[in-house]
Structure 1
Amino acid sequence: MDTKTITKPKLTMEAYMELSKKWAVFLLKDMFLGAKRFNDFLEVHPEISNRVLSDQLKGLEKYGYIKKIIVSTTPLKAEYELDELGLSLNKMLYEKAMWAIKHGLGSRNDNYFKGKDIEKAFGIKK
């Protein structure tokens, strides 16, 4: 019997650097409220190209921040959701957002949050 051992991706410098890519934090933030489809991301971020979005999602998946779930095969439909490593970033990303707001780099009402409660957007319980 051929069995494969599934191991967690090791947090390497490459995995850490994946978070510095232009859209990574925005895509992760979007998934704190639940699984998203490819077109959901495009709807929220119309300025991102299909190719860049695809590359960013593949990178986040490769390093274990998110997982791709096939919902249907005909037609092919997939959803992306946070994996354990991605979920562990919620407090850090929330603090980063609050820092930006405190220093005038954004507001609770800007397009980044689309009018949603910031704490809810990051899964932070008040």
Structure 2
Amino acid sequence: MHDNCTGVNCPVDATLDMIGGKYKALILWHLIDRTLRFGELRKLIPQATPKMLTQQLRELEEDNLIIRTVYPVVPPKVEYRLSELGTSIQPILEAMYKWGADYLSQNGISVSCSMKFPG
């Protein structure tokens, strides 16, 4: 018998709500162990339009997964880095990467994306 798993009381649903956006996992992945500016993220995730990337970054910031720092210089300098909460999601992202890589490999498809597994 399965429990009805809907709403934010479901752990999987809560996780997917926070990282399930079109480019959220990629953004979080690229911010592991480093701080990046918007332009650097654009280069790493070229398939995301600037508008979509901005929206995803705002949502990640609202969910306290990333920290946005604005420096008072001209032109404005904005940097993004993982928060403590964002860093805690790294094992989930690594598990997703490994599972996806195994799936692709089993189906004769090579990995070809901007995500590179550390190590």
TM-score (norm 1): 0.73
Q: What aligned pairs does 1:1-126 form with structure 2 within 5 A after superposition?
A: 13=8, 16=15, 17-104=17-104, 107=110, 110-113=112-115, 116=116, 118-120=117-119
Structure 1: which 5+ runs fail to align?
Answer: 1-11, 121-126
Give the AA of the match of 2:34.
G
Structure 2: which 5+ runs fail to align?
Answer: 1-6
Aligned pairs, how many? 105
Is contact 1:42-1:48 (8 Å) kept?
Answer: yes
Is contact 1:35-1:79 (8 Å) kept?
Answer: yes
TM-score (norm 2): 0.77
Q: CA deviation at 1:78?
A: 0.6
Aligned sequence identity (%):
24
- Cα displacement string for residues 44-72 of structure 1 (whole angstroms, at most 9, x for unaligned residues): 11121111111100000011000001234
Structure 1, 88-97 or 72-81: larger mean CA deviation: 72-81
Q: Secondary structure at the match of 2:98?
A: helix
Q: Hey, what does 2:3 align to over in structure 1?
A: none
Q: RMSD of the alignment, in Å? A: 2.2
Is contact 1:94-1:119 (8 Å) kept?
Answer: no
Q: CA deviation at 1:15?
A: 6.5
- Name whichever structure is richer in helix by fraction: 2
Give the AA of the match of 1:119.
P
Is contact 1:72-1:78 (8 Å) kept?
Answer: no
- 1:55 and 1:84 map into 2 onto residues whose CA distance is 21
Is contact 2:37-2:79 (8 Å) kept?
Answer: yes
